[in-house]
Structure 1
Amino acid sequence: MSIKLLEHIRDELISSGAAANTPEFCQAWLGRSEGYIRVLRYNRIEPSVETLTVCAHKLGHYADSLRNSDAQSHQQWVKRFDRLKALCDQAIARQAEAVWREPARMGA
C-alpha cells in the first residue's frame, strides 16, 4: 500500500509542478536515492517509516509556510499538502501499529 501511496504523492506533486520527475521526488521529497521507488518495487518491500516521516514533515512544512498567505493559489497548495501529509501520517500509524501488535512484541 505504501508504495502506491508514494506513487500517488509523486504523481500529484509532479502534476502540480512541485516536483519535476520521479528521481527529483525521491531525492527532494523522500530524502532517498533517485531510484528509491524502483528499488522498493524490485525487492517487493514497503517504504520505511523514516521515509514516510520525511515526506510528511516536508509536506507539513510547506503547508505551514503558506498557511497565512492571502493568495488563493497558496491556499490551494496548503489544502493539497495537508491532504497528502494526512495520507503519510495514516500510513505511518498503520506501520507503527503493525509493529506493536506483532505477537512476539505483545508477549504472546
Structure 2
Amino acid sequence: MTETVLRDIYLYLREHELVRNESEFSKNWLGKSDCYMRTLRYKKAEPSIGSFAICAVRLEHTLKQLSSHSVAEDLRRYGELCRNHVTASAPQNLHQLRKSV
C-alpha cells in the first residue's frame, strides 16, 4: 500500500516536470538505486522507511525553492504524507530493534 504513495508522488512530480522518469525519481528523490521502484513492484515489497524520510526532506527542500509556485501546497501535503508514514512506523521499528539486541 505504501508503494502507491510513492507512486502518486512520482506521477505528480513527473506531471509537473520535476522529474523525468522513475529511475530519476528513485535516485534523486528516494536516495535509492535507479531500479528501486521497479524492484518494489516486481517483488511486491514495501518501500523502506528511509526512502520516505529522504523523500520528505527532498520535497521540503523543493518546496522552499518553489514556495510561490502553484505546486507548493501539493509538495507540502506530499511531504507531510511521507513524514507521517515515518512517524507511524517508528514504534514498530523500535520494537524490531529491541528484539534484535
* TM-score (structure 1 length as normaliser): 0.79
| 1:31-73 CA distance string (max 9 Å, x none) | 1111101112222321111111111000001112333x4xxxx
State the alpha-carbon separation in 2 of the partners of residues 97 and 38 from structure 1. 28
Correspondent of 1:89 among 83, 91, 96: 83
State the alpha-carbon separation in 1 of the partners of residues 7 and 66 from structure 2. 24
State the alpha-carbon separation in 2 of the partners of residues 49 and 6 from structure 1. 12
Q: Which amino acid aligns with 1:49?
A: I
Equivalent position of 2:23 in the other structure: 23
1:94 Cα shift?
Answer: 2.1
Q: Which amino acid aligns with 2:44?
A: R
Equivalent position of 1:46 in the other structure: 46
1:46 counterpart SS class: coil
State the alpha-carbon separation in 2 of the partners of residues 2 and 11 from structure 1. 14
Q: Which amino acid aligns with 2:64?
A: D
Pair 1:98-2:86 in alignment? no
> Higher mean Cα deviation, 54-63 or 29-38?
29-38
State the alpha-carbon separation in 1 of the partners of residues 63 and 52 from structure 2. 16
State the alpha-carbon separation in 1 of the partners of residues 45 and 88 from structure 2. 15
Q: Which amino acid aligns with 2:50?
A: E
Give structure 2 stretches of 5+ with no counterpart: none
Pair 1:8-2:2 in alignment? no
| Larger Cα-atom Rg | 1
* TM-score (structure 2 length as normaliser): 0.83
Q: Compute the RMSD of aligned alpha carbons.
A: 2.0
Equivalent position of 1:33 in the other structure: 33
Q: Which amino acid aligns with 1:96?
A: A
